[in-house]
Structure formats: C-alpha cells, structure tokens
Structure 1
C-alpha cells in the first residue's frame, strides 16, 4: 500500500516537472512578446520577402514612400504583400536612393529612423 502511494507520488512529481520543463521551452521574443520562433524578422513587399538587417539608414539615404505594413502576425503561416512578423500595421516602407527595390528597401522603425531590409530571393547570390 505504502509502495503504491510512493509510486503514484513519484509519477505525479515527474509529470509536474515535465510540464514545467516543456512550458519553459517556449521562448518569448523580447520586442513583441511573441511565442513563435522565427528564423528572422521580415516584411513582405511587392511579392518579395525582405529580411531585416541591423544596418541603419539616414533620412538623406531615403528616396520615397513605397507602402506600409498592412498585416502583422506573430504566428507562422502564409504571408501576403504588406505583411510583417516584427513591425505593426502602419509601419512605412521606403525606396532607398540609388538602390533598386528588388535588392533592398528601408523600414521606418521610428520617426526619421530607418533600417535596411534585404530581398531574401537575392541574398544567396551575393
């Protein structure tokens, strides 16, 4: 009888610890609170996926507005024009001066602060 209780208690403790370990494996993204595990942050514009870089751009390097983020989600799935897994709806996208939009675009991350995004279709060729 006592052996059965100890065994049941051991199983309960093991299950409890397993639940804690499994729930602890779900990493939270610091910036968005997302529980998805993305390979990289990106935006989709003109049927191209652009990965976000760490390269900042000045206002002088920006040409003109080309669109904005229209769809945001922290869940993986299919993506359409104007989608981002990092930036909220309304985030503006820009052409960079003297650079084709098929190569790079700029994302306005704060007022007059821009970051370069690289076309993923071309990144393997460079």
Structure 2
C-alpha cells in the first residue's frame, strides 16, 4: 500500500518548483532594448529622430564606438550609427539643441535630450 502524501508536502513541492522556474528564467543573459536611437557627443545625449536635414555646416565629430548593450560608456558613441559615422553642425543651428548625423548617405536630425548620465 502506498502512503498518501500530506497537503503540506504538496505545498512545499509546488513552492520549490516555482523557485526553480523563477531562478531559471531570471538568470537569462541578453541585451536590453534601448528606449530610443541616440548618439552621445560632447557629454550630451542626442535622440536620432530621422528628420531629414538639408543644410549642414562643419563636421563636429565622429562616432568612436557602436554599442549594443546598455552600460556606462564615455566619448562619442551610438546605438544606431556605426563606428566612423560623421556628426555635423546644422547650418544656422545651435549644437545645444540639435546636430545632424549621417545615416545611410542622408543627413538626419538628432535632438539634444540633456546630459548623458554614466
């Protein structure tokens, strides 16, 4: 004759299964999604909004690093633009407000969202 399992044993087994499942799914490594496409230049973060810019002025920088995972970075980097992409001042614009970036042969606007927090 097989002894009956008590209700207490069933509850403990259930809770143990929940803990194991939580640990297995919670330990997944992977990249997190960025909130928006950006470039960091001059310690400010600029959201790339893809508005086409016709008149650009001087080149002001170059993307030094393309980043995939969220983290603490320094210098000029972007989660969209490749390493080597050029950044430009918008003609008759203020770099405190927006800059132009070259994306697939087209100049698009990147709007200043404030200081980049490391």
State whether TM-score is above 0.5.
yes
Contact 1:62 1:106 in 2 (8 A): yes
Answering whether residue 115 of structure 2 is matched by residue 119 of structure 1, we say no
User: Normalized per residue, which structure has more helix?
Assistant: 1
Q: Give the match's secondary structure for 1:44.
A: strand
The structure, 1 or 2, with the larger RCO (C-alpha pairs under 8 Å, 6+ apart) is 2
Write out aligned runs for 1:23-102 (5 A): 35-57=31-53, 60-102=54-96
Q: State the distance in 2 between where 1:45 and 1:121 align.
A: 11
Give structure 2 stretches of 5+ with no counterpart. 1-24
Contact 2:32 2:70 in 1 (8 A): yes
CA contact (8 A) 1:63 1:95 kept: yes
Moved over 2 A (4+): none
Gaps of 5+ in 1: 1-20, 23-33
User: Aligned residue pairs: how many?
Assistant: 110
RMSD between aligned alpha carbons?
3.3
Residues 1:104 and 2:98 aligned together:
yes
TM-score (norm 1): 0.65
Contact 2:31 2:70 in 1 (8 A): no
